[in-house]
Amino acid sequence: MNLFNSLKRAPLAGALFCLPGLLLPLPLHAQPCGLDKADEQVQVRHVHDGDTLWLADGRKLRIIGVNTPELARDDKPAEPLAKQARDSLRSLIGNNTRLQLRYGQEKHDRYDRLLAHVFLSNGQNISQWLLEQGLAYSLTVPPNTWQFDCYQQAEQKARQRNKGLWSKQYSRVLPADRLSNDLRGFQIIRGRINRVGHSNNTVWLNFNRQFAVRILRKDLRWFQNMDFEKLKGKQLEVRGWVQYHKRQLRMRIKHPSAIQISP
């Protein structure tokens, strides 16, 4: 069924709804994002930050399904709750802890980091735990889409409770009509679509002249149930990394879970 044939505002105030599925309220209590198979057991040497580990064998591991705030580096200060995310993860797993890994379909990223869902020996999902604590944002990077819907529900649980990154103190959903051209990095932006454009290799969701979302045609296989034309006039919330190109802020989106209808 095409999702956009039945766009409705659901009655749950404050909720956001992921485009790939039906527009229904997300449940308050996320079901455990359980382990179906363990591809490898490893030992942790060091927790680098909220979503990155060094393993005892020297490999660097990026946890699938989440993006945590960036620690200070170069001339950039730490983002809000970056240290808390790292320190909380250290408290949960510590050094020398044995973990279970469930690989993604893509096993390494462009930085040659190992990509995996990470579980404690008791089966607790680390990504889900970070999301429920409000210490991470849900992030789906295809083809590693396993449990993305469960991770979104875990984030929604923290969001409905104004926890961590979703508290009034830290929440940073930026309005699309008031963006600075200096904006960079991972952002969540909300605004109304005024135009949908098409080029040879890209679908464009234009919020205004200053900001647009680009979806490469090679990624359209993940958007099969999305009618982009019916997004015009809708208020959306999008998440991803912002760059400035040709006098415009742009965000590339690879999976429909990064686009949500905002009430």
- Of 10-14, 38-42, 162-166, the range with the lowest mean pLDDT is 10-14
Q: What is the mean pLDDT of the chain?
A: 89
The strand pairing partners of 67, in sequence order, are: 137
Helix (H, G, I), strand (E, B) or coil at 129: helix
- The mean pLDDT value for 220-230 works out to 94
pLDDT band at 16 (very low <50, low <70, confident <90, very high): low
Angle at 121 between CA 117 and CA 125, to 5 degrees: 35
CA-only gyration radius of the chain, Å:
18
- Proportion of the chain above pLDDT 70, given as a percent: 88
What are 57's two structure tokens?
A: 């064998």
19 pLDDT higher than 60: no
- Of 29-33, 184-188, 198-202, 243-247, the range with the lowest mean pLDDT is 29-33
Contact 144, 127 (CB under 8 A): no
- Of 24-38, 113-127, 132-146, 240-254, the range with the lowest mean pLDDT is 24-38
pLDDT band at 114 (very low <50, low <70, confident <90, very high): very high
Q: Which domains does the chain have, with CATH numbers?
A: 40-166 (2.40.50.90), 173-261 (2.40.50.140)
According to the model, what pLDDT value does residue 7 have?
A: 34
According to the model, what pLDDT value does residue 259 have?
A: 96
According to the model, what pLDDT value does residue 20 have?
A: 44
85 pLDDT higher than 90: yes
What are 199's two structure tokens?
A: 């080029």
Sign of CA dihedral 213, 217, 219, 220: positive
Q: Between residues 261 and 126, which one has the greater pLDDT?
A: 126
